[in-house]
Amino acid sequence: SPYTIMIGTTLGKEYHLFTIFGIEVCCDIGLPILMAFMALTSLQRMHSVTLAVIDALAVVVIILVHEFGHALMAKSFKLSPGIHLSLFNGFCRHSGETTSFRRFLILAAGGLSGIAFGLAMLGVLSAVSTRSLIYGALKNWTWQSIYVNVGNLVLPIYSLDGGQIFDIFVRKCVSGQYLCTWIVHGTGFILSLIMLMLSVVYMRGSYFLAAIAFMLLYENGQTLANAMQEKRRQRVLITSGSYRDHV
């Protein structure tokens, strides 16, 4: 079957980092590349090694908090979750079958945990208000955590959490695999294209966001192309009398 590159695709060998709450956290070569990219971008902009280190660590903390939200919810359903950190983001995987409702709860838990963490950090930072650059950087990343998690949760772009939640509802309301694929991934393709254009035109220098948008655009476009290819194959088989389409 056609191979689809996804935003959660691993890059090469997996390395164990640590285990906490019975949840294994691993990474691939993409994580140090991401951290180096964030640090170098910060260093070029702010000329501060301290702020560069904060930026590199902050993005990892934001991703970890988000993924632990997914993982802890999955663990509550005894699904043996694990977390993988890569170049563009992290992702939570688990074993065992689950229901659509439980899958919805697992997906929603990531964004909600990130938002809750951001709000808690704002409370802490407000209590120790100062004018230092480090304080400013931490407050900026706290707001970034809230914005990123809200966007991840509400935007119906597959394979963001919002897109996967959208996929659950579409497949509950619409019959036909092919139509569902077009609704879910067509929506994802259009919105990720808009996201890419906004990141390039109106958010100059937002290379990370542009890269995420490009990967989402490519993933949804590739899924649509694969669906059309499969549909054409089915039609050829039907024409030859060797296949009956039950989709």
Q: What is the DSSP string of 14-34?
A: -EEEEEETTEEEEE-THHHHH
- Strands 90-93, 23-27: pairing kind: unpaired
Pair (69, 173) in one structural domain: no
Report how many domains make up the chain. 2
Of 154, 189, 212, the residue at which a domain comes to its end is 154
> The domain containing residue 168 runs over which residues?
156-241
Predicted local distance difference test score (pLDDT) of residue 114: 96
- Consecutive H or E run containing 74: helix 49-76
pLDDT, tens only, 30-58: 999 999 988 998 888 888 898 899 989 99
Give strand pairing partners of 93.
Answer: 82
**What is the number of other CB atoms lying within 10 angstroms of the CB of residue 210?**
18
pLDDT score of 137 more than 60: yes
From the number of C-beta atoms within 10 Å of its C-beta (0-12, 13-18, 19+), residue 3 rates as exposed
Predicted local distance difference test score (pLDDT) of residue 161: 96
Residue 246 lies in a domain: no
DSSP label at 12?
A: S
Pair (149, 170) in one structural domain: no
Of 154, 181, 209, the residue at which a domain comes to its end is 154
Of 154, 174, 197, the residue at which a domain comes to its end is 154
> Mean pLDDT across the stretch 238-246?
61
> Mean pLDDT across the stretch 54-74?
94
Report whether 104 contacts 165 (CB < 8 A): yes
Residue 59 lies in a domain: yes
Pair (85, 197) in one structural domain: no
